[in-house]
C-alpha cells in the first residue's frame, strides 16, 4: 500500500492549523496581543483534531472521546490549581507527557504501519519512515525520561545537587552512538529488537543526561527539553506527512533552542558546559570556606521607608528568594505606597531571576505589578547611576560586581545589574550567612552606601509599608 495523498482540503486544513500556531507565538510579542494569540493556538489545535477525525475511519469514537475527556479534565484542573511558583515543575511534567505521547505514537506506527500509510510495495515499512520513526521514538524517550528527572529536581523530590557518575561522558557518548547506529541499521533490517533497543537506550540516555546537571542550570534544561519535545513532534510529522505537525515541531524546537541560548548567555555559561553537568558541585565546597570579616551596616524598616520617601526614583531588583518568601504582594504594596507619595518605582528583572525563562515576570504579574513598570536587564541597567535607591530583595548573584571585575569568580562574565552605582542600596536578606547559587561573597554587602535589611522578605516589606504610612 503506497502512501496516497489526502484530498487538497485536508492538506489545506493542516496548513491553516500550522499557520494559526505561528500566529499564537507571534501574539506573544506583546502582552496586549498575547491573549488573542493563545486563542489562535486553540483554534489551530481544534482544526487539526477535527480534520484528523473526519478524514479517518474511526472504529472507536467513544474510546477516543473518553481518552480526550479524561486527559483534558486532568490537564484543565491542574492548570487551574497550580501555583505560579510551581510553573517550572508543571512545564517539565508537561514536556514529559509530550515525550511519552511521541514514544507511544511511534510504537503504534511500528506495530500497525498500514494505518499510517507507511508500508512500501515490498510489504515492509519504507526505509525513510523507519529513520523518522526511530528518531521520533528516540527523541520522545529522551524528552520523557529527561523531563521526569527535571521535574523531580525542580519539585524538590530529588536533590538538586548534580549526581556525577564516573566515566559519564564515555557512557553518554557511547549510548548516543549506539542509538544512532541502531537507527541506521534499522533501515536495512526492521527487526523489532532493534526498535525496542533504541527505545530502551533512549530512555536511559535521557535519564543519564539530566542527573549530572545542578539545580542552578535547570532553566537551561527546561528550555532544552522544550526544544526536544518539538523535534519529537516534527519527526512524527515526517512519518505522517503532516504539515501541522512539522510546522509546530519546527516552531517549538526553535523556541526551546533560543530560550536555552538566552539562559546560557544570561549566566555566561556555554551550552556544552551546562550539558556536561557538574556545576554547583564545586561551588558548594568553596562556599564553606572561612571568609574574612568585613564591616557592614544594618538598616531598619524605618530607615528604608525614610530614604525611599525622600527618593525621586527607586529601582527594585527581585530575585527568586522573594518568591520563596511569598513577598511579591507585600512588595507591590510597598511600591504602591511609594508611587502615591510621588516616587518613581521600577522593577529590574534579570533573565535568570526565576527558575525558568520569564518566571519572575509572571510572579510579579500575579501580584498585580503592571508590566510596563517591569524592565529587562539591558533596558534598565544604565538607570542605576541616576537612581536614588536600589532595593534588592531575594536576589544575590545577579547584583554581584565580582562578575564584572574578579576573573577568578565562578560567575565572572555573567551580566549583572550595576546596583553599586545607585546612591543608596538596600539589601533584603535573611541573614549574612547565606550565599547565592554560585556560592560567592558579594561586595555590595560591604559598600558605604549599602544598608542590609536582615529579615524575612515578606515581613520586611510589610514593616516598610507600616513605616511609610506613619
Partner 1 sequence: MDFITILSIFVMACFVGYYVVWSVTPALHTPLMAVTNAISSVIIVGALIAGAAGGSPTAKWLGLIAVALASVNIFGGFAVTARMLAMYKKKER
Q: Which residues are tagged catalytic?
A: 397
Compute the distance between CA of residue 158 and CA of residue 152 in angstroms, rounded to an integer. 5
Least CB distance from residue 97 to partner 1, whole Å? 5
> Which of 350, 168, 206 minimizes the C-alpha distance to 268?
350
> Which of 196, 70, 86, 72 minimizes the C-alpha distance to 134?
196
Residues 212-231, interacting with partner 1 (CB under 8 A): 222-223, 226, 229-230
**Grid cell 549583572 in the structure block, residue:** 416
Closer residue to partner 1, CB minimum distance, 44 or 134 = 44
Name beta bridge partners: 313: 344
Least CB distance from residue 424 to partner 1, whole Å? 25
Residues 315-354, interacting with partner 1 (CB under 8 A): 349, 351, 354
Q: Does 206 bind partner 1 (CB under 8 A)?
A: no
> Which of 379, 414, 389, 384 minimizes the C-alpha distance to 400?
414
Compute the distance between CA of residue 270 and CA of residue 128 in angstroms, rounded to an integer. 34
Residues 83-142, interacting with partner 1 (CB under 8 A): 84, 87, 90-91, 94-95, 97-98, 100-102, 104-105, 107-109, 111-112, 114-116, 128
From the list 19-27, 275-283, 298-306, 307-315, the region that binds partner 1 by CB under 8 A is 19-27
Q: Is 63 left (phi over 0), alpha (psi -120 to 50) or beta?
A: alpha
Closer residue to partner 1, CB minimum distance, 240 or 267 = 240
Neighbours of 23 (CB within 10 A): 17
How many residues bind partner 1 (CB under 8 A)? The answer is 120
Give residues with Cβ within 8 angstroms of 52, minimum separation 6. Answer: none
Closer residue to partner 1, CB minimum distance, 261 or 446 = 261
The 54-93 site mask, x for binding partner 1 (CB under 8 A), equals --xxxxxx-xx--xxxxxxxxxx-xxx-x-x--x--xx--
For the chain, give the number of residues: 470
Q: Does 31 bind partner 1 (CB under 8 A)?
A: yes
Closer residue to partner 1, CB minimum distance, 168 or 329 = 329
Q: Does 288 bind partner 1 (CB under 8 A)?
A: no
The 168-187 site mask, x for binding partner 1 (CB under 8 A), equals --------------------
Q: List the one residue from 13, 138, 141, 240 that touches partner 1 (CB under 8 A).
A: 240
Compute the distance between CA of residue 377 and CA of residue 395 in angstroms, rounded to an integer. 13
**Grid cell 489545535 in the structure block, residue:** 45
Q: Does 155 bind partner 1 (CB under 8 A)?
A: no
Burial of 396 (0-12, 13-18, 19+ CB in 10 A): buried
Q: Does 244 bind partner 1 (CB under 8 A)?
A: yes
Compute the distance between CA of residue 458 and CA of residue 327 in angstroms, rounded to an integer. 4
From the list 16-24, 393-401, 421-429, 439-447, the region that binds partner 1 by CB under 8 A is 16-24
Vertex 465: Cα angle to 365 and 307 (nearest 5): 105
Name beta bridge partners: 346: 315
Closer residue to partner 1, CB minimum distance, 148 or 435 = 148
From the list 177-185, 247-255, 277-285, 291-299, the region that binds partner 1 by CB under 8 A is 247-255
Closer residue to partner 1, CB minimum distance, 37 or 439 = 37
Q: Does 8 bind partner 1 (CB under 8 A)?
A: no
C-alpha cell at 433: 550567612
**Largest alpha-carbon pair distance within the chain?**
86
Q: List the one residue from 122, 292, 372, 448 that touches partner 1 (CB under 8 A).
A: 372
| DSSP for residue 4 | P
Q: Does 398 bind partner 1 (CB under 8 A)?
A: no
Give residues with Cβ within 8 angstroms of 329, minimum separation 6. Answer: 367
Closer residue to partner 1, CB minimum distance, 369 or 425 = 369
Closer residue to partner 1, CB minimum distance, 127 or 288 = 127
Least CB distance from residue 122 to partner 1, whole Å? 18
| DSSP for residue 346 | E
Q: List the one residue from 154, 179, 304, 374 that touches partner 1 (CB under 8 A).
A: 374
From the list 175-183, 272-280, 368-376, 459-467, the region that binds partner 1 by CB under 8 A is 368-376
Q: List the one residue from 134, 146, 212, 249 that touches partner 1 (CB under 8 A).
A: 249
Least CB distance from residue 3 to partner 1, whole Å? 8
Output 183-186 pairs: Cβ under 8 A, ≥24 positions apart.
183/131, 183/134, 183/135, 183/138, 184/131, 186/130, 186/131, 186/134
Amino acid at each position: 500500500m503506497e502512501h496516497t495523498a489526502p484530498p487538497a482540503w485536508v492538506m489545506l486544513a493542516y496548513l491553516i492549523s500550522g499557520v494559526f500556531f505561528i500566529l499564537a507565538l507571534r501574539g506573544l510579542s506583546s502582552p496586549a496581543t498575547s491573549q488573542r494569540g493563545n486563542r489562535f493556538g486553540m483554534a489551530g489545535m481544534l482544526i487539526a483534531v477535527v480534520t484528523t477525525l473526519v478524514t479517518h475511519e474511526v472504529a472507536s469514537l467513544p474510546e477516543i472521546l473518553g481518552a480526550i475527556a479524561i486527559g483534558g479534565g486532568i490537564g484543565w484542573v491542574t492548570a487551574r490549581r497550580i501555583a505560579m511558583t510551581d510553573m517550572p515543575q508543571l512545564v517539565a511534567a508537561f514536556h514529559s507527557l509530550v515525550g511519552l505521547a511521541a514514544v507511544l505514537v511511534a510504537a503504534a506506527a511500528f506495530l500497525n504501519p498500514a494505518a499510517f500509510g507507511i508500508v512500501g510495495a515490498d510489504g515492509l515499512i519504507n526505509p525513510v519512515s523507519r529513520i523518522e520513526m526511530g528518531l521520533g521514538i528516540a527523541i520522545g524517550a529522551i524528552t520523557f525520561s529527561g523531563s521526569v528527572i527535571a521535574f523531580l529536581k525542580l519539585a524538590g523530590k530529588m536533590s538538586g545537587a548534580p549526581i556525577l557518575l564516573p566515566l559519564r561522558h564515555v557512557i553518554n557518548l557511547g549510548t548516543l552512538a549506539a542509538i544512532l547506529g541502531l537507527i541506521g541499521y534499522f533501515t536495512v533490517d526492521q527487526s523489532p529488537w532493534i526498535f525496542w533497543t533504541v527505545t530502551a537506550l533512549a530512555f536511559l540516555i535521557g535519564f543519564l543526561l539530566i542527573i549530572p546537571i545542578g539545580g542552578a542550570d535547570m532553566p537551561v534544561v527546561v528550555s532544552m527539553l522544550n526544544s526536544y519535545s518539538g523535534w519529537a513532534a516534527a519527526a512524527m510529522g515526517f512519518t505522517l506527512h503532516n504539515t501541522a505537525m512539522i510546522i509546530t515541531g519546527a516552531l517549538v524546537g526553535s523556541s526551546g533552542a533560543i530560550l536555552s541560548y538566552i539562559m546560557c548567555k544570561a549566566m555566561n555559561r556555554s551550552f556544552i558546559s551546562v550539558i556536561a553537568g557538574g556545576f554547583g558541585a564545586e561551588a558548594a565546597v568553596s562556599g564553606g570556606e572561612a571568609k574574612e570579616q568585613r564591616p557592614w551596616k544594618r538598616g531598619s524598616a524605618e530607615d528604608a521607608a525614610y530614604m525611599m520617601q525622600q527618593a525621586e526614583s527607586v529601582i527594585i531588583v527581585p530575585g527568586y528568594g522573594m518568591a520563596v518568601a511569598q513577598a511579591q504582594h507585600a512588595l507591590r504594596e510597598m511600591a504602591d505606597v511609594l508611587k502615591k507619595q510621588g516616587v518613581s518605582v521600577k522593577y529590574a528583572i534579570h533573565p535568570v531571576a526565576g527558575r525558568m525563562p520569564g518566571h519572575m515576570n509572571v510572579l510579579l504579574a500575579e501580584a498585580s505589578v503592571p508590566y510596563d513598570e517591569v524592565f529587562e536587564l539591558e533596558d534598565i541597567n544604565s538607570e542605576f547611576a541616576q537612581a536614588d535607591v536600589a532595593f534588592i530583595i531575594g536576589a544575590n548573584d545577579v547584583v554581584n560586581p565580582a562578575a564584572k571585575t574578579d576573573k577568578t569568580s565562578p560567575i565572572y562574565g555573567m551580566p549583572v545589574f550595576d546596583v553599586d552605582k545607585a546612591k543608596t542600596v538596600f539589601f533584603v536578606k535573611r541573614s549574612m550567612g547565606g550565599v547565592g547559587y554560585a556560592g560567592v561573597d558579594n561586595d555590595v554587602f560591604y559598600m558605604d552606601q549599602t544598608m542590609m535589611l536582615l529579615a524575612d522578605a515578606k515581613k520586611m516589606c510589610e514593616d516598610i509599608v507600616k513605616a511609610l504610612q506613619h
